[in-house]
Every structure is written in structure tokens, then in C-alpha cells.
Chains A and B, each alone.
Chain A
Amino acid sequence: MLEFETMAKNMYAWDDEKGLFIPFSSTMRAVKSEISKLNSVSKEMVIERLKDDFNCDDISFCYNWLKKWEKIHVPDYKSQIPKEIDKSEIKSYLFAHCLSQLSLCTTEDCNFRCRYCSFSDFYEYNRGYSDKYMDFDTAKKAIDYFISLLNEGKKYNPIRKPALGFYGGEPLLNFGLIKKCIEYIESIYNDYEIIYTITTNGSMLDKKRANWLMEHDFIIFVSLDGPEDEHDRLRIYENGKGSFRDVIKNVTRIIRKGYKEIYCMPVFDWKSDLFKREEFFNRNDIPSVARIALVNNIEGCRYYEQFTEKDYSAFLGQLERARSCYYKDLNLQRGKEKLSFFDKLVGLDPGEDLFKSVSIYIQPLIMPFTGACIPGRKLFVDVYGNYHACERVNSSFPIGNVNDGLNFEKISKLIVGYLRSMDKCPSCKVSRKCTYCYQNFMTDNGFSPSSTVCENIESIKKASFARSFNIAEIYPEFVEESNYKHKNIKKYYGDDRNVFQT
């Protein structure tokens, strides 16, 4: 168990076997230790051994409770790492639980040269820029194959609502292809309810293109980083000119039309002004924030070499101030109509720390560790027609192509190779909390071992758990309310006071 303590001096432990937090104490630790030394040790024996150091009532309670807790049986999945995986097993899992999205990389070309771009020289294992465009024949084959998989998978999962995403480079550089794909789907597969998405830098979202996307109910994700100086520091055209004014003009036009399905996906680094961004994204004329991301520090990334220790400290200071500011008035945060930058930066952390993991149940045995998907949950198609697990995985691990379809042999090898590198996971004390996946470990020809990549993960998580429980102790409703069952459970607890009063 991973123990931690909050500012109020309360002790807790994360029980990774069951995937649950428990209140903890020094008595509990001592009793647990006695029980683990001797399997059939009686309560009386434990009391006898510990009575000089602990209260007998507490020893008795801890003994009873630990024995009760042991009754929750969780299969030992950590010792069952698959050495090989049958193709049919992958296929069957894929049909039932995957195929949620087909992403087409319409082009590797981009009119921007964002300083942090994952296709820049900063990323050793990612592809570079190119002027390659996907042709319709490739896209059509990918769509046909995806729909054929959905058809085949219907009997295993008849209620799945899939998405088709357009990605780049800058996908709107190949707008003609996007139009052709949608027209093709609407003419051939119009009985399918497909959600369309596009991830764009926003510079080419002129009136004509935007209207067309809105007419087809696209969910539009724009890479808008913040106010002008913040955005232009990182998101620039090939000629080095800032892109903010062009992007905001296009985004504003869409917002003014009352279109709701447009969201921002800002990226930040250690020199970003977090408070300026919060102010910016709180504005009503700016779309909600769908997801934020710190510049990806994956294997082979050299982006952070440009920063100093001082930069990092300053960033951490800013982050801490953001937390203080955000948690100062949670009633205000809850009452907001749209999600802001800080909601994503710090607001979701406690809820995710406390609830984002699988309890009691075990992960599928074909992927017992980390947060990695079974390749095929999403299908990313590059401009050449190769399939990849997602847009963030480098091109060294293709899992098929539009001509031959998915290669289950390759998927199996990919999973087995990945799991072989997860050497730390069986003994990791926070394995059920892991959100890492392929991209965090991948190199050009394999995966770095988790013992290297995750060296400090337990201490990082421990600090994060303590922070989250500090919030939960004072504002329990805030961390719980995102649980959809919460309202039913807490009915009739009484609303006679403000739940956020400290």
C-alpha cells in the first residue's frame, strides 16, 4: 500500500490491489504488519503484541477491519502477463470494445511551424514535416474498411457510436478530401450515425469552410493557445509570424453564429503565463477548453532542453498559485457555465486522482498494465494508408494498411513487446492509477522499460494524492459530483448548509 498524509495530518493509503483509498493510521500499519507476518494470527495475539504502543480498542478495530477488507477478492492479474496473444482474442476484444474512431491524416503538410510541434526536430522518434497529402482512394479504402469492421462488430457491440476525425498536419489544407469523404459517407453509409470531428490550427477556417463544417455538425477542435502574446509565442507561421489574429477572427465568426460544437485545445510549456490564459479562456466569446496539454515530454523529446532550472521553478510556482486561486472559491468554479483553462489545469485533478482508475475489477488480461489501449480502439491512418494505434504513436509501429486491413499479428506483437518492457508494473504501488501508454515508452525500434520511464512515479503520485485529499477533506462534494451515481446516493443528506463552507 502507498501511504500518504494530508495537511490536516490525516493518514490514508492507496490499496493498489483493490484500486481503492482507505483511511490509515500507525495502528493500522502495525496490525497489518503483524497479520502479514503470521497468516492465522488471532486478534488476541495481535493485541498482546501491540498493546504497549497502541490503544487496544484501535488495535481490535484495525484487526477486524483488515480481516473484513481481505474478503474482497481480486484475481491476481499481475502474475499473468501474456507471453503471446491469440489473434482471435484481440479480434473479439476489438469488435466488442474498440473501433471508437477512425482518424484520417489528410496531410502531413502544415502552414504553421509551432515551436513545440511533435513533428519538429525536438522529437527524435517522430516523423518530420512533409508535403504529403492523402488521396481519396486511400481515404475511401480506410472508410470502407472501418465500416466493414463496424458491420462485423455490430453483433458484439450494436450500440457503439463511432467517430470519424480529420487530422494533420493542418487537415484543412486538404479540405477537398474532407468534403469528398463526407459526401461519400452520406451517399453510401447514410444509415450510420457517425460523429465527425476535426482538429485544426484554425487559420484556414474561413467563412466558406466553417459554414460547411457546421452544416455537417462537425465537432471542431481548434489549437488556440491563449491570448495573442501567449499564442504567438508558440504558434507561428512558416515565416515566423504569429497566427493569433487569423485564428481568432475565424473562431469569433463561428461563435457569433451560436455554434456550440467548437472547443479549444491549448498547449502550454514552462514559460506560459497560466493566469493570462485563464482570463482569456473565461471570456464568453472564446470556446470552452476541451483538453489542455503540457508540451509532450515523451521518450526522445528535447524540447525542454531550452529551459533552465529557474524556468521550471517559476512554472511550478505559477502552478501552485493557480491551485490556490482556483480552490479559494469552489462555489464560483462550480457555478461557471463553461470550462476554463484552470478547470482543466487543476480543477479536475482531485476527481481524477480519487476516481480515475478501475476498482476491484481487473483490466483485460491482454493489457493488464498501464493505460494503454488495445491498438484498434482508435484507428489512425497516415497519408500513405498505414494504420497506427493513434495519432500520438510514432510511425515505427504500423498495425496494418488500407489494402490489407488490420494486421492482428502485428497488434499481438506490439502488445507483447510493450508488456515485456513493463518490468516495473507488477511491483508498482500505483499501477491501477497509471495513465501512461505506448507514446510514453516508445523509441524507434521498441519500448523503454517502465523501470526507467516510471522511476519516480510513486513519489509523484503520492504528492498528488495528498494534494487531492486536502481538497476532498474540505470540499467532498467537489470531487464527488462528477460521479453520476453521486446524486442518488447523497439524496436527503440535507441542503441546509453550503456544502463548501470550511
Chain B
Amino acid sequence: MYFRLNPECYLIRGERCGAIFDLIDTKIYALNQQETKLVTACEKNDPISGDEKLLNELKQLCLGNFYPNKIYVQKLRVGSRENKYNPLNPIEPPDLHRAFLEINNSCNRDCWFCGYHGIKRSLGCMGCNKWKENGSALSIEKWKIVIDGLRDLRCRDIFITGGDLTLAWDNTLEILDYASRKFSNIYTILHQQSISSEKLDNLDNMSKVIVQTDDLNGAQYENLLMLLVVEPGRGGDTNSLKRKNIMKDYIIGNRKFLSNNRVLTSKNKIMPVNMYKFLDNIEYHPCLGHTLAICHNGNVTPCPLMRRHKFGNVRNSEIYTVFEKEWRSIYEFWGLNLDKIDRCTGCEFRYACTDCRALEENLTGKLDGKRLCSYNPKEGEWY
């Protein structure tokens, strides 16, 4: 008798343990070492010998089934397999999913959590920041050209960020109005103190709004997506927040104070993935993949936080020329899947991890470094 996981269930092995990814029901089942050995043997088409308790459980969970003979189970896949696939010698256009447009770098506030002070946040890319950088912001007309360029490249999602976008609100609205005629999925990031009912009315039908705040009690906009700055130990019970539309933007302190039981290092960083995300993560970095940021001064970077890595500048050229000239460099970032990160390559959760390269590089000094994780795949244990 043989046992095989279903087409939609992938066994991913780590150095010691494994996990079953159910790509239809988007669940992950962590296995201990013994269970991993057993399921691995089954997936290698070895006949079953010994205890079938676990396998019966897996069948009950609709993850696999028994077969009288060796069989071949084709795993669920999405898209096509290219023979001799070579991303550096492509025919198809770059698969751009997400672009950050940092349309200004001005702000009159002096928030304690701002990137201006060198503060690192887990979702710093999505929130507002001011940077100690030279160079004037691109003109409105230039941003319109950037937007046209992103539309031509079939970019899916646009994040409009700053700076404080309300300082030059008319400009922001003009850019948003233009973008909304080209894109259906636009997010605008505003600081809570900058918003008003009138401004929200202005944005209606043009963009979804993400509100950055560090005020737990001030998250009164039930209908908006809140980005709440959280510093463990600074007061406030964020665990009691039940609203689904609140994203926690954790402050990353000095590296020596990073304990291992923090949200960012614990198993909370493993997120169930659907078939599209899982299969994409095998090839691309879970966050950097398919992403670009266009900074206020026109610099094009892998993400809003990785400002040292510059692919080009769109002040005097169009966005497609950056791909044309720097595709190899861009693909180095996009293709930085967790198989290429030393500490992650032996982890069974590597295709479901919310890894942030910007933070990891900042904390370790290395693009492929890893600090924010308390899982040891060699032992199969969380610390």
C-alpha cells in the first residue's frame, strides 16, 4: 500500500522537519521530525510500513489518500512551464505587480517613528516617511508620465506615499485623479493627523486610503485601513484590537534588544499562502518580487526602504528604460527567493514567510542576512 499527498498539497522539507502546504484551503501543517520522515517516504513512493495513524489523519483532513500501487501525483501548478526558462533572456515583459510612488518628501511633523530619525518599522514601506535626501521632487507632469509608464507595463497595484501628501493636497489630488483613470487598485497613505472628512471625500472613488498612526485610541476610522505603529513596551494593549483592517507596524529597536519572542521573529511571520503566492515564492522574493519604488527625487529602488540600491532615475527618462538597462539588477532583487538566504534555505516555511529584506539588510549589513527569525530549522524549534 502507498500513500500520496493530493495534487494541491506540497510537502516542503526543511533540514530537519517539514510542512504540508494545502494550496486550496491555504493551510500549513507543520510536521515533527518523525512525521516528516514518514510523509517524505510516502512522497518518494515508498510502500507504507508500520503505523498508519498519521496517514489516516491526513486522509481525514483531505490532504492525501492511500493507493494500492505506486502512482504519480502531478502537483497543482499555475501557468506554464517554460522549457529552458531563462529570466535573463526573456520574451515576455517583466511581471510588475506593485509600484510605490513617493510623490513628495516634505512633512512638518516630527514623528518619533519617522524614517527621518533612522527608525526601522516592519511596514515602513507602506507608511509615511521623510528622508534625509537631496533632490527636488518630480513635477506633477513627470509623475503622470511615470503613471503612464507603469500602466503600459501592466503594473497591478499603485501605492501613493510621501512625506505628508496633504501639504500640497491639490497636487496629490491631481496625481491621484490621473492615476485613477489608469488603475483600479490605488492605495494612498496619509498620516492620521492630516486627514479630515473633506479630504477623505476628495479621495472617494479614486483610491483606497491607508492611515498611518501611533495613536491606538485615535484609530476611529472604522472604514479605513489603519497602519498602527506599535512599539512593544511603550504602552497600550494592541492585542485587544480585533478589527481586521488594522495592520500593525512594529518598531524594530536596536539589534541587541531584539528578543526572540517578538511578533516579527515568531511563527506569526509565517502566513498561509494560496497557490499563486506559494508558487511565486518558489521563484521570487515574497516582498521584493515584482515590486519597484519610485522615490520623490526620481530614483528607482527595489522598495521604499532600500534606498541605497538604485536601479536608475526617471527624472530625465522613462520607467521602461530602467528595466531596459537594469533588468539583470532588478531580477537579482526580484529573484532573491528564500532558498538564496542562508538561514532560510533549510527552513520548511520558506515559501510562506513574510521576510523583509530591507530590515534584514539594515540589521545585518548583508543583503542575504537574517536576524528577524527565531526558528532554527536545524533543530526544528522556535526559541
Contacts and interface: CB of A to CB of B under 8 A. Distances in A.
B91 A100 contact: yes
B73 A23 contact: yes
A491 interface: yes
B364 to A, nearest CB: 23
A334 interface: no
B79 A360 contact: yes
Interface in B47-89: 59, 62, 65, 67, 69-83, 85, 89
A493 B74 CA distance: 17
B361 interface: no
B93 A160 contact: yes
Indicate the member of A9, A358, A484 with the most B CB atoms within 10 Å: A484
A492 B14 contact: yes
Interface string B11-38: 0111100100000110000000000000
Contact of A469 (B67, B72, B82, B85): B72
B173 interface: no
Contacts of B76: 20, 72, 359
Contacts of B279: 485
Contacts of A361: 78-80
Contacts of B327: 158-159
B135 interface: no
Nearest to B6: A65
Interface stretch (A83-91, A293-301, A349-357, A398-406): A349-357
Interface residues of B, number: 60
A8 B69 contact: yes
Given A68-B62, A155-B153, A23 B71 contact: yes
B168 to A, nearest CB: 28
A482 B83 contact: yes
B24 to A, nearest CB: 5
Contacts of A476: 45, 72
A68 B320 contact: no
A367 to B, nearest CB: 14
B204 interface: no
Nearest to B14: A492
A9 B18 CA distance: 31
Contacts of A159: 90, 93-94, 323-324, 327
Contacts of A483: 81
A9 B24 contact: no
A473 B323 contact: no
A61 interface: yes
Contacts of B71: 8, 10, 12, 23, 473
A64 interface: yes
Contacts of B10: 489
Indicate the member of A357, A359, A474 with the most B CB atoms within 10 Å: A359
A157 interface: yes
B133 interface: no
Contacts of A489: 10, 12, 75, 282
A475 B3 CA distance: 17
A483 B84 CA distance: 8
A218 interface: no
A359 B91 contact: no
A160 B65 contact: no
Nearest to B69: A8
Indicate the member of A472, A476, A482 with the most B CB atoms within 10 Å: A476
Contacts of B91: 97, 100, 160-161
A20 B7 contact: yes
Given A23-B4, A361-B78, A488-B339, A160 B149 contact: no
B15 A157 contact: no
Contacts of A214: none
A431 B85 CA distance: 24
A155 B149 contact: yes
Interface residues of A, number: 51
Contacts of A355: 77, 80-81
B67 A10 contact: yes
Nearest to B149: A155
B332 interface: no
A195 B76 CA distance: 35
A23 B67 contact: yes
B259 interface: no
Given A61-B59, A476-B72, A492-B346, A158 B94 contact: yes
Contact of A9 (B69, B72, B83, B320): B69
B283 A485 contact: yes
A372 interface: no
A191 B49 CA distance: 63
A22 B62 CA distance: 14
Contact of A8 (B4, B70, B85, B324): B70
Interface string B210-246: 0000000000000000000000000000000000000
B80 A356 contact: yes
Interface in B156-205: none
A488 B282 contact: yes
Contacts of B345: 491
B45 to A, nearest CB: 7
Given A158-B94, A159-B324, A484 B85 contact: yes
A69 to B, nearest CB: 7
Contacts of B75: 489
Contacts of B78: 359-361
Interface string A327-359: 000000000000000000000000000111111
Given A155-B320, A489-B12, A71 B92 contact: no
Contacts of B342: none
B92 A61 contact: no
A492 B43 CA distance: 12
Contacts of B154: 96, 156
B354 interface: no
A494 interface: yes
A466 to B, nearest CB: 12
Given A361-B78, A473-B45, A482-B83, 17 more contacts: A12-B71, A65-B65, A71-B24, A97-B92, A154-B320, A156-B320, A160-B90, A160-B93, A359-B76, A360-B77, A360-B78, A473-B72, A484-B81, A488-B282, A492-B13, A492-B346, A493-B13
8 shortest interchain CB distances as A-B pairs = A492-B13, A157-B93, A472-B72, A158-B324, A158-B320, A158-B323, A355-B81, A64-B62
24 contacts: A10-B67, A23-B71, A57-B59, A69-B24, A71-B25, A97-B91, A154-B320, A154-B324, A156-B152, A158-B327, A159-B323, A161-B89, A355-B80, A357-B80, A359-B76, A359-B77, A361-B80, A479-B72, A483-B81, A485-B283, A488-B282, A488-B337, A493-B43, A494-B44
